[in-house]
Amino acid sequence: MLSVKNLTVAYDDTPVLTDVAVHFDAGKITGIIGPNGAGKSTLIKAMLGLVKARQGSVLYQDQPMRAVQKQVAYVEQRKDLDLNFPINVFDVVLTGTYGKLGLFRDPGKKAKQASQAALEQVALGEFAHRQIGQLSGGQLQRVFVARAIVQEAAIIILDEPFVGIDLQSETAIMAIMKQWRDAGKTIIVIHHDLNKVSQYFDDLVVMNHGIVDYGPTEKVYNARNIERAFSADLSAVLFDEQEVAQ
């Protein structure tokens, strides 16, 4: 279990998260939803050690995250990357082996085989030697999922993986996440499209400047929580429609 205990994060004295507590179970795909500025990215960045917490702790199986950092894979948003960088698809996936190799060791035959296999798994085997700028958004996202596969991490965190990608890629990535879940990994996904929440996630964390509620999706994904996190209007639209459909 991955647990966050009384976590407080602030940027320049403006608190974004105050005294947050939440936990994520292994063998589950957990979605994090909430409006812009709810603190979703801040929460995962604090968990990853990318932003410093004022207070609180993040523990994985009772060990601090810092001690198990190599057990974490992070699929970030693609918009921050330089797509003209002189690197091809295969070499991007290969960087997934860097963490476990450590300093002064270069990826060997095993690492290269694992990278090629991961590329096949996301159906991009033929694209290995393409420069990354030549891929579509969906293909590129699959490349980063392949890198996470190669990392062989116990915890995989994805930040809005489905933004701006084609349905085929979305389905392929979802299939990989289900494989990870069945292998007992902890999968955490920041998500924005409320329509697919019940379909995609076993557990759900609803956020709005802190945690609104968390737990199994069927219990947490309800009109009251959506109203508290987003708005009464959105809640009415989403849940009335569902009632009509049923």
Contact footprint for other proteins (CB under 8 A): 48-50, 66, 69-70, 72-74, 76, 80-82, 84-88, 91-92, 95, 98-99, 101, 103-104, 106-107, 131, 151
Q: Are the C-beta atoms of 146 and 95 separated by less than 8 Å? A: no
Nearer to other proteins, 110 or 182 (CB): 110
Buried/exposed 8-42: b ≥16 CB within 10 Å, e otherwise: ebbeeeeebbbebebbbebebbbbbbbeeebbbbb
Minimum CB separation of residue 130 from other proteins in Å reads 9
Cα–Cα separations (whole angstroms), residue 114 to 109, 146, 149, 158, 230: 9, 10, 9, 21, 42
Minimum CB separation of residue 77 from other proteins in Å reads 10
Minimum CB separation of residue 139 from other proteins in Å reads 16
Nearer to other proteins, 74 or 201 (CB): 74
Nearer to other proteins, 65 or 206 (CB): 65
Minimum CB separation of residue 119 from other proteins in Å reads 17
Which are the contacts of 144, defined by CB distance < 8 A and separation ≥ 6? 75, 76, 78, 92
Structure tokens, 101: 């190799």
Angle at 159 between CA 116 and CA 231, to 5 degrees: 150
Structure tokens, 189: 């996904």
- Between CA 113 and CA 53 the distance in angstroms is 38
Minimum CB separation of residue 148 from other proteins in Å reads 10
Nearer to other proteins, 45 or 181 (CB): 45
Nearer to other proteins, 10 or 234 (CB): 10
